Structures are given as C-alpha cells and as structure tokens.
Chain A
Amino acid sequence: MRKRNEKLYKAFEIIAGKWVDDASGDTSESPENPSLDDEFLQQILAKYHQYEMSAKRNLRSYIYKIAIICALLLASSITVYALYSAGLLYKILPFNTDIGSTNEVRLETIETIYLPKATAIVGYSQIDETKPPDNASVAITEYEANDGGFMMIIQQLATTYNIDNENTVDQKLKLHGDLDAFYSVKNNQSTIIWTQYDYFFELTIYPAVGTERMTAIAESFVAEPKSRQYQALCFMIAITLSLLMLSLKLWFRIKKKK
C-alpha cells in the first residue's frame, strides 16, 4: 500500500471536482438529452461479445504459440536424440576421431562403426553392468562364455575386415584401469576398439599394431569417452536450439506472409 500524500490528494480532489462541474454544467452542445434506448444497450452488448471473442482469440493464440514452441522443442529433441542413439550424431559432429592423439600415436582408422545398443544388447545383457571388469580379457571372455551375441558382432566384423576369427579371441589386448567403457579385440591383421557409450557402441577398426603400442593407444582412448559424451551433449543442445530457432523463424515468416 502506497503512503498517501495528503496535499497531492487534496489537489487532485479539487481538480476532479472541477472536471465534474465543467462536464455537468456544459450543456451548450447537448440541448436535448440523448436517447439511451434499447438499441444503444444492444450495441453495448454486441461490443461486449466482440471484446469477449477477442479475449478468447488472444488466449487461444497464446496457447497455440506455447503449444507450437513445445512441439518444436520436442521434435528437435527427438530428432537429435534419435541421431545420438543411432550413433549418427558422431558422424555429423566435427570430432577428432583419431585415437591416441594425446600419446602422440596416430593411426589411420579403417572404419568406425556405430552400433546402437539395441542390436548389441543380446551380448551386453550377460555382463554385470554394476561392476567394471578387471580387464578387457575378462569382459570378453564372459561375453564369449555366456552369449553368442558379442561374438556374432565380432565374427561379422572379422569377416568384413578379414580378421582371423579364432585369433581374435586368443590375442585379446590386456588393459587395466577404468575399463567400463572400453573393450578391445586384436589379431595380427586388425584391431577393433570397442567403446561403450550410453546408447551405442563405437567399434573402430584399425590396422594391426604391436601390443605395446596398442595399449598406449587404448589407454589414452579410455580417458576420452566421457569428455566426448559431454561434447556430444553440448552439440545436442546446440543442434536442438538451432533447429528450434530455425523452425520459429520459418513459422514467423509463414505467419507474416499469411
């Protein structure tokens, strides 16, 4: 509640009185009283309906705007999420996919494959996800022992890239440390780096290198997934917002043309 300024209040009261007196006393321009009949009232009612309609229209258009923005945001998020979960996001993002860059070991990749977990889940479900395995060998052995899903994928890759299937299992790369997100299989001809992300596996096939060198590459790679996921998240947000802005711009342009 504002504090009343008595002098100002009094001054305005005097002015209000003057206005009222002026308007009441000024009858020179209205010699006869106007006829405020039923028609006059019906016109007020018509105006009220107009006012009501316009208020409803405004409310409706406000709701539409919010709904459209939500729908666009949802659509953009779903698109980006679908791209991410299908592993396609990594293909369109400007990431440096050369592994081992921190260890000054650079290898040309033969190919990088993004495999949605849904397709690899058969093999994956057999492993205890709550505990990271001690090393890659254990993880892979467990995969082998419990389910053929993982092996099916490896076999498929082995056939594609001419990897000796039997050696694939025998010459596993021994890795230590945080292996939760990293598995690797190697033979004399090629090496497959198997990296686990939230929604997909990344399988990178490299030409065969010595075990020592491969370990160095792999260790540097182990540290990468998290930072790459943050990067991916930032890109996801950026792409979502860009898509949203683009959609809004288009929408306003269409609306303006109409």
Chain B
Amino acid sequence: MIFVFLILIEDEQDLDKFNRIYTEYQHYILQVCRKVLKHTSNAEDAAQDSLLAIAINIRCINNVNSLQTKSFIHIIAYRKSLDLVRKNRNLPIPNDNLENLGLADAFRFSESILDKLVSDMQVEEIVAAIESLPHPYQEVLMLFYYHEYSRKQIAQLLDVKYDTIKHQISRARKLLIAELEKRKVI
C-alpha cells in the first residue's frame, strides 16, 4: 500500500500518518460512503476519492486517533459521497433540501450575535440547534468552529470554490442564529 502513496505523499512522516489513517479508517470511510450512497461499488468509488482527498490534505491532520481526525474523515467521506450523488443524477439524492429554507431577509448574522446567543444557552440546546441544520451546513460549521480551519482551507479540503464556502458558512451561521433565537423564545 505504501508504494502507491509514496507517489502522492513525499514526506516520510506524512506517509506514515497516512498509512495509519488508512489502516484504521478504511472501513469506516467505506461505511460512511455506503450509508449515503446505498450502493457498494459507488461507495468504493467515493471512498477512493475520500482517501485521495485525505492524502492530498494530509498535513491538516495532527493526531490520527483523535475525535477531530475521525470527524474530519467523516466529513470528507460524506462530502465525497454527496459529490458522487451530484455527478450521477440517477442515484438517490439525500434529503438535504438546501433551497427551501424559509429564510427571512432581515437576519442579523454577525459573529458577535452568535456569540451572545450561545453564551446564554445550554450546550444541549446548541447541539439540538446545530443538528436541526441541513447536513452540508453542519459540516462546514464543524470544519469552521470545531476543526478551526480557515475558509480557504475548507475550500481546499472540500475541493470547492472559496466563494462557495464563504457563502455556505455565512448562510449556515444565519440559519444557526435563527434556530437558536427560535429555541430561546420557546
């Protein structure tokens, strides 16, 4: 296996890191992909894309056995599966209706408002609010707030344009604020 990735990863430490990730998470990646795609050969395809993306962005991973790494790999696998869904339109599209969000125009979405809202709430309430967001938004917020990647890094990781990520983060934040405000009123 190392022979294959010797070409992809030049640094020996990175190669060792990737080898450990591959050994530890190969089945996990495939499982995530299969859960989205519900089709073994397509899931294998998405898993290959995920491993490739991980190999290219291997420097973003610090501790192989941490929860952060596992959730990072989860996001990559999930996004690569979604990409495959988009590519092959005949495959079932996961129920993430991004357009029909019913957003009001007068949202206040600055970071400080989110901070203020979050400071008055319980962690469980915040978790529930985040979980109520559509999946792609949960992931970008996860990469932004939990993995603490910059917008540029996220765009590179998910292989999308910087503007798309910027827009997605801002929209996800708006949604989260709206959801938190709703829960606060209740």
A51 beta carbon closer than 8 Å to chain B: yes
Q: Judge if A4 is at the interface, Cβ distance under 8 Å.
A: yes
- Jot down 14 A-B pairs with beta carbons below 8 A, ordered by A: A5-B115, A12-B141, A12-B145, A12-B146, A16-B142, A20-B67, A20-B74, A23-B28, A23-B74, A26-B35, A34-B30, A40-B48, A44-B55, A51-B52
Q: Which of A2-19 contact B (CB under 8 A)?
A: 2, 4-5, 7-17, 19
Q: Which residues of A contact B48 (CB under 8 A)?
A: 40, 43-44, 47
Question: Could you list 14 further interchain pairs (A-B, Cβ under 8 angstroms) beyond the known A15-B130, A29-B34, A33-B27?
Answer: A4-B148, A7-B119, A7-B126, A8-B145, A12-B130, A12-B141, A15-B127, A16-B146, A20-B70, A24-B31, A36-B27, A36-B47, A45-B4, A47-B49
Question: For residue B38, which residue of chain A has the nearest CB?
Answer: A29
> B159 to chain A: closest CB distance in Å?
9
Q: A64 to chain B: which residues have CB within 8 Å?
A: none
Partner of B44 from A11, A20, A34 at Cβ < 8 Å: A34
Chain B residues with CB below 8 A from A41, complex form: 1, 4
A-facing residues in B1-41 (Cβ within 8 Å): 1, 4, 7-8, 26-28, 30-32, 34-35, 38, 40
B131 at the interface (CB under 8 A from A): yes
Cβ of A227 under 8 Å from chain B: no
Chain B CB within 8 A of A30 CB: yes
| Nearest-Cβ distance from residue A182 to partner chain B, whole angstroms | 58
B68, CB-defined interface residue at 8 Å = yes
In the complex, what's the smallest C-beta–C-beta distance from B172 to chain A, in angstroms?
12
- Residue from the set A14, A24, A44 with the largest chain B CB neighbour count within 10 Å: A44
Residues on the A chain within 8 Å of B185, using CB: none
Q: How far is the CB of A78 from chain B (nearest CB, A)?
A: 37
Counting CB contacts under 8 A, is B138 at the interface? yes
Q: Which of A8, A16, A51 contacts B67 (CB 8 A)?
A: A16
Which residues of A pack against B, CB within 8 Å?
Answer: 2, 4-5, 7-17, 19-20, 23-24, 26-27, 29-30, 33-34, 36, 40-45, 47-48, 51
Report Cα–Cα, A7/B141, bound state, in Å. 14
Is chain A's binding surface mostly helix, strand, loop or mixed?
Answer: helix
Which A residues touch B47, using CB under 8 A? Answer: 36
CB distance from A18 to the nearest CB of B (A): 8
Complex alpha-carbon distance, A5 and B116, angstroms: 10
Q: Which residues of B contact A (CB under 8 A)?
A: 1, 4, 7-8, 26-28, 30-32, 34-35, 38, 40, 43-44, 47-49, 51-52, 55-56, 67-68, 70-71, 74, 114-115, 118-119, 121, 123, 126-127, 130-131, 138, 141-142, 145-146, 148
Are A19 and B74 touching (Cβ within 8 A)? yes
Contact A20 B71 (CB under 8 A): yes
Chain B residues with CB under 8 Å of A26's CB are 31, 35
Tell whether, in the assembled complex, residue B145 and residue A15 are in contact, meaning their CB atoms are under 8 Å apart: no
**B75, closest chain A residue (CB):** A19
| Contact across chains for B34 and A9 when beta carbons are under 8 A apart | no
* A30 engages B118 (CB within 8 Å): no
Distance between B181 CB and nearest chain A CB, rounded to angstroms: 15
Chain A residue nearest to B176 (CB atoms) is A8
